[in-house]
Structure 1
Amino acid sequence: MDSLSQIALGAAVGVAAMGRRTAPWKAAAWGAVAGTLPDLDVLIDHGDPILNMVLHRAETHAPFWLTLFSLPFAMVVARLSGEWDRWRRWWWAMWLVLVTHPLLDAMTVYGTQLALPFSDHPFGVGSIFIIDPLYTLPLLVGVVWALSSSAGQGRRANAVGLMLSTAYLGWTVAAQAAVTDTAQKALAVQGIRAEHLLVTPTAFNTVLWRVVAVDGAHYHEGFHSLLDEGDAIRFDRFDRGTALAADIGAQDGVQRIQAFSKGFWAMWEQSGQLGITDLRMGQEPAYIFRFAVAERRSPVVPLAESRQIGSRPDVKRGLSWLWRRAGGEPLPPPR
């Protein structure tokens, strides 16, 4: 999730876990700090854009390593807070903040390697967009209330914020399941046999959902709003570029993206460059994680370092379409 959501979650969990044992501002401040720490791995440059992508949300997001880190970190927090006699409670609070960070991240589609060091599988439920105000606002309101009102009333408000945000996560999973069922039926009607099926919400909401079905050498993209009349989904078909596997399929970066995206990838060739795209984040024709990995020569020449050449859609046009399409208008996506 975005940094603001993680800060708000960390502060809320800190206040809830410490309760009456410290001042709410101390619990919120240290919770916000701990809620930010796992994402500092973005400052690590692994020397290649693809490596930077697939190694984000790795060790710093693994509960095993976070548990080991939580004890010395909590001892420092307790000492700096002047509350050494409560270091065990600080340990409990900081552990909760640290581990809820990757658990929340795992609800997005990106991929969080929760099982390290035992497995590098990237977990990603994909039921919530990386920025969703309806998740973050209850947390912010609860924390602000806790910091600006009487202790008992503030703790109750903070708890309500946590419950509402958690309930919203439950709603996203239920909505995703419902749209998945609708998508499977729509694909069957149209004779599309999906090897992989992705159902994720579009930006900032859980009303309009994007559906991607991978079918061999092609992938199909469609959109379904919970406010649509009927369950029909219009799919656009795109070439997956599988013929380029002979040229770049053996490259390490390509194989990493194929594994990390869980099969939702497409190879491409443009202006003498060959590359691969993670189809999960973005929509046609704009994708954030689009990488050039080789140049078309005779023979093909791999690049010493991949180049990220992703793009974002026109914001004004995209938001206008998003709002209207989420409301149930049967509009084609902007291309």
Structure 2
Amino acid sequence: MDSLTQIVLGAAVGEAVLGKKVGNKAILYGAIAGTIPDLDIFASHFTDTVSALAIHRGFTHSIVFSVLFAPVLGWLVSRYETYKDYKGWAWLFFWALITHPILDAHTTWGTQLFWPIDLRLAFKTIFVIDPLYTFPFLVFLILTMFQKRTSKKRRLYNGIGLTLSTAYLALTFILKDAALTQFKSALHTQNISYNQIDTRPSPLNTILWNANVDTKNAYLLGEYSFFDTKAISFQSYPKNHELLGNLIQNEKVKRMIAISEGWFTISKIDDKLYYNDLRFGLLNLEPQSESFVFKYLIDVDASGNVNFIEQERTQRDGKKLMSALWERLKGN
């Protein structure tokens, strides 16, 4: 999830664990702990694109990380804070650290919660930024901050925030299942044979859902809004995996395919090969658009080394997509 959401979650968890004893300092340290797992993004400054993608939401988003670092952080804070209960601080950091990857596991990218086991947990029920999850949570956290440390209202407000956010997260599973049922029904009605289907919410909401459908030679992409009145239509995108040629044996290419869980197409433009990660959809909702959110130039240097160069996205792309999504969310 986005940084603000993780700060709010960490702060609320910190308050639940130690707020009655240390007041707003529990919120402060919980907020700090809630951001720590995302420090892995700095790996992109020290390694190649593929390695950075593999590292992201890996070790720092695992149970192992929380178990190892919570006692250390708890001990450090207990050394200079007036509240000296080491175990209390350790518990605060543990729960603030571990709830971060648990929440991230509900997004499309997912987390390696059980690192070092090579398994990325991704429920794909919520977008990385969802105002309906974050805003009510933030409001009740702010109300909590202005209550006295021992006030019953303080615990009440924080409890409401945690309950509402958790309930909404649970609701997303129901919405995902309902959308999946609609996609499967449409595929059956249109007599489309497929190997597997992958669904996820579109940006900023859980009303409009996207689906990737794996068929023999192509992927089908479709959208469904709970306000739709017309049948779901699917756009076909050839896999073109054969364009990789001998590159399919390259270790970086293999790792990239594993990271994208096999959901990718290859496009050739001006004799250059591009790798399109389908898991995050398109920047443009126009039919047959090739503007994928995550698109990489496959660069092969003179020595045969392969590098993936992420193609830049502009603010204009984002604004255009938001406008199109809003119109599509209202129904077809």
If the length of structure 2 is used for normalisation, what is the TM-score? Answer: 0.91
Cα gap change, 1:326 to 1:141, in 2 (>3 Å): same
- The percentage of counterpart residues that share the same residue type is 34
Task: Determine the C-alpha separation between the residues in 2 that align with 1:109 and 1:233.
Answer: 22
Tell me if 1:201 matches 2:206.
Answer: no
1:303 Cα offset (Å) = 4.4
Which consecutive unaligned segments of at least 5 residues does structure 1 have? 331-335
Secondary structure at 2:67 match in 1: helix
Residue pair 1:212, 1:220 contacting (<8 A) in 2 also: yes
Q: Report the equivalent of 1:186.
A: 186
After superposition, residues 218-297 of structure 1 pair within 5 angstroms as 218-229=218-229, 232-283=231-282, 284-295=289-300
Structure 2 distance, partners of 1:41, 1:130, is 17
Q: 1:319 aligns with which of 294, 319, 322?
A: 322
Deviation at residue 46 of structure 1 after TM alignment? 4.6
1:292 deviates by 1.9
Residue of structure 1 aligned with 2:139, choices 118, 141, 150? 141
Who is 2:61 aligned against?
61
Shift of residue 238, structure 1, vs aligned partner: 1.0
Cα 1:152–1:19 change in 2 (3 A) is same
**Partners of 2:292 and 2:33 in 1: CA distance:** 31
CA distance in 2, matches of 1:185, 1:257: 32
Please state whether the residue corresponding to 1:125 is helix, strand or coil: coil
Q: How far did 1:304 drift?
A: 4.4
Distance 2:113 2:170 in 1: 20
In structure 1, distance between residues paired with 2:219 and 2:306: 29
Contact 2:239/2:265, CA 8 A, preserved across alignment: yes
Larger CA deviation: 133-142 vs 30-39: 133-142
How far off is 1:310 after superposition?
4.8
Q: Which moved more, 1:313-322 or 1:167-176?
A: 313-322
Contact in 2 for aligned 1:30/1:77 (Cα 8 Å) = no
- Aligned partners of 1:285, 1:170: CA distance in 2, in Å? 34
Within 5 Å, which residues of 2 pair with 1:6-45?
6-23=6-23, 25-44=24-43, 45=45
Q: For residues 280 and 304 of structure 1, what CA distance do their matches in structure 2 show?
A: 22
Q: How far is the alpha carbon of 1:194 from its aligned partner?
A: 2.3
> How far apart, CA to CA, are the structure 1 residues paired with 2:5 and 2:319?
24
- Structure 1 position 301, deviation (Å): 7.4
* 1:113–1:121 CA contact under 8 A, matched in 2: yes
Letter in 2 for 1:59: F
Q: Report the equivalent of 1:333.
A: none
Contact map agreement 1:291 1:310 (CA 8 A) in 2: no
How far apart are 1:169 and its partner, in Å? 0.5
How far the C-alpha of 1:311 sits from its partner, in A, is: 3.5
Aligned to 1:306: 308
Cα distance in 2 for partners of 1:19, 1:51 equals 39
Does the CA-based 8 Å contact 1:287-1:311 persist in structure 2?
Answer: no
Q: What code does the residue aligned with 2:291 have?
A: A
Q: Where does 1:77-156 land on structure 2 (aligned, <5 Å)?
A: 77-84=77-84, 86-117=85-116, 119-150=117-148, 151-156=151-156
Q: Deviations over 1:44-77 (max 9, x none)?
A: 2352112211210111011122211111111112
Separation in 2 of the partners of 1:304 and 1:254? 8
**Relative to structure 1, is the Cα distance of residues 301 and 228 closer, same or farther in structure 2, using a 3 angstrom cutoff?**
farther
Q: How many residues align?
A: 322
Q: Which runs of 4+ in 1 moved over 3 A?
A: 300-304, 310-313
Alpha-carbon distance between aligned partners in 2 of 1:121 and 1:98, rounded to the nearest angstrom: 19
Return the alpha-carbon distance in structure 1 between the equivalents of residues 313 and 243 of structure 2: 22
Q: Could you tell which deviates more after superposition, 43-52 or 87-96?
A: 43-52
Distance 1:302 1:227, change over 3 A: farther
Unpaired runs of 5+ in structure 2? 283-288
**Secondary structure of 2:249's match?**
coil
Residues 226-267 of structure 1: CA distance to partner in whole angstroms, max 9, x if unpaired? Answer: 11126x210011111122242421122221122122221112
The aligned residue for residue 286 of structure 2 is none
Q: Do 2:299 and 2:309's aligned partners in 1 also have CA atoms closer than 8 Å? A: no
For the aligned residue pairs, the C-alpha RMSD in angstroms reads 1.9
Instruction: Identify if the C-alpha distance between structure 1 residues 237 and 301 changes in structure 2 by more than 3 Å, giving closer, same or farther.
Output: farther
The answer on whether the counterparts of 1:293 and 1:302 sit within 8 Å (CA) in structure 2 is no
Shift of 1:306: 2.2
